Amino acid sequence: MALEMSHSLEAARKRLTDMQQYAESESGKPRTAKDSDTLIKQFGDEVEHWKKERKQSQPEGSVITTVGMPYTPCIKSMYELEKITLSELHTETHHRGKMLIVQRKSKLLFARAMVCAVVVDEVHCSWFPDSKRFPLTPGKTGDAEVLQLVHADTALGEDGLLPTDGLLVIKEPYFTFNNEKTGIILVDHPSDIVSIPISHILAPAESLLQHDGGLIEIKSATEWKTAGNKALGAKRYAKAINCYSQGLAAATPAVLDVRFDLYRNRAQANLCLERFDATLFDALSAVIGSEEATARDSKAYFRAAFATYHLRAFVDAKKHLERMLEPTPDDIDGARLLERTNLRLHEQATGDYDFPAITRNISTTNKRVDVADFFNKTELKPSAGRGRGLFATVDIKPGEIVVCEKAFCAVFDTDEHFIRTATYGARNQTITPYPYVLWKAAITKLHRSPSALSKIVALTGEWPGLGEACLKIDGTTIVDTFEIHDIVGRNGYASCTPSKQQADTIFGYCGYINETSGSGIWSYASYLNHSCVPSVERCPVGDLMIYRAVKPIAKGEELFACYDFLDGVENRHEEQERVWGFICDCMLCVAEVLESSETKAKRTKLVEAAKAFVDDHSLMPNSDQATVTRAEMLVKRIKSTYNDKKYEGVPRTAALELQYWLTRAYHHRKDSKRCLASTAEMFRMLAWKSVKLDAHNVILEPGKGSRLSVEAVMSLNWSRNSMVLDGKAGLSLKLSNKQKELYIMLNGVANGFPEIPVHLVA
């Protein structure tokens, strides 16, 4: 079944069930032929309609994309497949071991999630008098079908996607239905379509004669180069690549120089399409190596370095740049790229980042940062009962950077083609909590630079698909898009869309995570396993994810992040099992699981009362003593529901929100002593040990089972301000310094931290 969108989970579920039942009832029936002229006309009208309506048809609010049953891509070469015609297709059938050879006969329809076109096959052209064929109705023009291509890289444009000047081989075609229950050929895996020239050995000989322009033109390598340069100048990159490739096929040893030019120019066209693996290959193939060719080689090395930089292989990028700059040391572009490369190498080796500069440059429009990754304090190893995990290779202090990683790919709601949609899968009937566009972005990136495939398919996902195999067949790397779907589901992280306000607001970066305005794949950090009492906290800055230690971590210890933290162990475990397929057994979960249901019920009731209290008393300055006493009593009652023994060393967070309310109330009532005591109490509730906050000491030590929360850090802020108002400058400064330490642990960077005005502490 095709990929479709619905406006609610219920609608998605209903649509999927309905389509599954229909598909089952139709499965295996012979396909009904479609008259090509009629279909092409109807489709043309639809393309025009879609173009006009595109604005209105943008989905409003959140939508759910339904995804049919997964199936693996074809892993046979087209030479091993048996050719069939459209007339031999059967409904709701994967035609394993078969292939269609078709030609596009319509414009492309760029719908939100896919690209469609009408294709015809050889029957239409009345070739092969002796072949099995659909009996043509007199006056009709032949058979045709709609092809629907999911996850196509739309940057390739009309030239690159389903080109019309050649033929298309659809490997192991899947004939199914669209939302209107009309038959379509659905291609979920882009590698299941291969474009071949009409002169290809598999193309029917008659197709040469049938070619639109009559006889095909035979061009020399130089003529292809000229045609390629023209296309490149017109920014028709896919067409340029095609011309240069044809030129390379036509180049004889007599025109060696042209051959180098073709590689160099194709490198540039590939670079414009962000196909960095191909750019690198072409650029290095273009290196001539003679003295007279210095200028041309300089260009080739620059392109190789640029591609390598974007493939994040900074050591290699530096090598290419040094070779480039050896004969041309004054080249400005080369020198600039070398400077950037050296900075990346420094970040990669030390974890020393210029965060003020990084955060200054990011905005709603500039969300992707130019930085290297830092992994040097960790290693990937097996983790008993949890697959693999990340382990510390050195002792790490609280606050230190543990991992810093730029996303393999990230999407933000301010991106041009962002659609706020999750996917709902037919296989396990669950929602993947990451947007459809993240799945698509990951697939596009893998198609553009397939060298990244091995690290992505090594990640955990439910649908095994092709596993960790990285196959290249018929010139294309095979990406199992369903496998990537599940990998995105298990490894995607919510992020945020950076903005100026975010950079300047208290907890601007950290606080935005919950809004899920962006998401991404950080493939190394993905190996962090979950704990509800984590040792690291994460915070996004653009598409960079910073992980800092929130407690001391000894060399050899496994690191844990918190994927999500819902109140109540049952809620948490239900979510963990549904989204990630595990149930946490951290110290906190064990303590909560062991509690009786009566205790939990009693506490839940009290927490509800506390929430209602906080909602009713959000205006702090009006709190009189009686109201404060009520809050204190309620905190006491909630705390009494915890069994000290069971909860030793783990957080008791049920009264945290109300305690935070008390901190603020004391501050407004100018009761600095109680304000500070309340802050200390919050840290105790979060299982911090050696909590001492008084005139002489500001000591807060995290424990093995402790958590850190925004409220606790903000509580320090109120205490600090209370002390300022009370004239206790020394203590307020100590509190402020501690607050800043903890603030950076959670927020990743110091941005937005409210320093005490200097004149108040002078």
Ligand X SMILES: C[S@@+](CC[C@H](N)C(=O)[O-])C[C@H]1O[C@@H](n2cnc3c(N)ncnc32)[C@H](O)[C@@H]1O
Q: Write out the residues near ligand X by the rule CB under 6 A.
A: 385-389, 459-460, 490-491, 526-527, 529-530, 580-582, 584
CB of residue 460 vs ligand X: minimum separation in angstroms? Answer: 4
Rounded-to-integer distance, Cα 647 and Cα 387, Å: 28
Q: 748: phi > 0 → left, psi -120 to 50 → alpha, else beta; which?
A: left
- Per-residue buried b or exposed e for 142-165, using 16+ beta carbons within 10 Å of the residue's own CB: bbbbbbbbbbbbeebbbbbbbbbb
Q: Give me the DSSP letters along 600-660.
A: HHHHHHHHHHHHHHHHHT--GGG--HHHHHHHHHHHHHHHTTS-TTTTTTS---TTHHHHH
CB of residue 493 vs ligand X: minimum separation in angstroms? Answer: 9
Question: How many CB atoms neighbour CB 16 within 10 A?
Answer: 22
DSSP β-bridge partners for residue 529 = 560
Rounded-to-integer distance, Cα 179 and Cα 544, Å: 39
Residue placing its CB nearer to ligand X in the complex, 247 or 465: 465
End-to-end CA separation in angstroms for the chain: 70
What backbone phi and psi angles, to 5 degrees, belong to 307?
A: -65, -45
CB of residue 389 vs ligand X: minimum separation in angstroms? Answer: 6
Residue placing its CB nearer to ligand X in the complex, 529 or 722: 529
Residue placing its CB nearer to ligand X in the complex, 184 or 550: 550
Residue placing its CB nearer to ligand X in the complex, 127 or 582: 582
Q: Where are the beta strands (DSSP E) in 43-108?
A: 63-67, 82-84, 93-94, 98-104
One-letter amino acid for residue 450 of the chain: P
Residue placing its CB nearer to ligand X in the complex, 283 or 403: 403
What torsion, rounded to 10 degrees, do the Cα atoms 521, 458, 171, 426 define? -60
CB of residue 96 vs ligand X: minimum separation in angstroms? Answer: 31
Using alpha carbons only, how large is the chain's radius of gyration in Å? 31
CB of residue 471 vs ligand X: minimum separation in angstroms? Answer: 22
CB of residue 533 vs ligand X: minimum separation in angstroms? Answer: 11
CB of residue 761 vs ligand X: minimum separation in angstroms? Answer: 44
Residue placing its CB nearer to ligand X in the complex, 109 or 579: 579
Residue placing its CB nearer to ligand X in the complex, 385 or 757: 385
Rounded-to-integer distance, Cα 467 and Cα 315, Å: 30
CB of residue 670 vs ligand X: minimum separation in angstroms? Answer: 45
Residue placing its CB nearer to ligand X in the complex, 271 or 402: 402
Residue pair 153/446 in contact (Cβ under 8 Å)? The answer is no
Rounded-to-integer distance, Cα 533 and Cα 560, Å: 8
For 448, what's the count of Cα atoms within 13 Å in the CB-facing half-sphere?
Answer: 26
DSSP β-bridge partners for residue 110 = 115
Residue placing its CB nearer to ligand X in the complex, 286 or 587: 587
Rounded-to-integer distance, Cα 271 and Cα 283, Å: 10
Structural tokens at position 10: 């219920």
Burial label for 37, CB within 10 Å (0-12, 13-18, 19+), is middle
CB of residue 527 vs ligand X: minimum separation in angstroms? Answer: 5
CB of residue 447 vs ligand X: minimum separation in angstroms? Answer: 23
Rounded-to-integer distance, Cα 443 and Cα 441, Å: 5
Residue placing its CB nearer to ligand X in the complex, 449 or 531: 531
Which residues neighbour 652 within 8 Å (Cβ) at sequence distance 6 or greater? 639, 642, 685, 687
Q: Give the DSSP letter of residue 396.
A: B
CB of residue 701 vs ligand X: minimum separation in angstroms? Answer: 24
Residue placing its CB nearer to ligand X in the complex, 283 or 579: 579
Rounded-to-integer distance, Cα 277 and Cα 283, Å: 10
CB of residue 702 vs ligand X: minimum separation in angstroms? Answer: 19
CB of residue 561 vs ligand X: minimum separation in angstroms? Answer: 9
Residue placing its CB nearer to ligand X in the complex, 476 or 526: 526
Residue placing its CB nearer to ligand X in the complex, 211 or 538: 538
Rounded to 5 degrees, what angle do the CA atoms 727, 731, 737 make?
125
Closest CA to 93 of 150, 158, 185, 175: 175
CB of residue 391 vs ligand X: minimum separation in angstroms? Answer: 12
For 117, what's the count of Cα atoms within 13 Å in the CB-facing half-sphere?
Answer: 20
CB of residue 428 vs ligand X: minimum separation in angstroms? Answer: 13
CB of residue 520 vs ligand X: minimum separation in angstroms? Answer: 13
Rounded-to-integer distance, Cα 544 and Cα 407, Å: 6
Residue placing its CB nearer to ligand X in the complex, 383 or 604: 383
Residue placing its CB nearer to ligand X in the complex, 346 or 490: 490
Residue placing its CB nearer to ligand X in the complex, 268 or 491: 491
Strands 560-561 and 529-530: parallel
Helix (H, G, I), strand (E, B) or coil at 188: coil
Q: Which residue is nearest to ligand X (CB)?
A: 387
Q: What are the Cα distances from residue 684, in Å, to 524, 635, 680?
A: 33, 13, 6
CB of residue 77 vs ligand X: minimum separation in angstroms? Answer: 32
Residue placing its CB nearer to ligand X in the complex, 502 or 526: 526
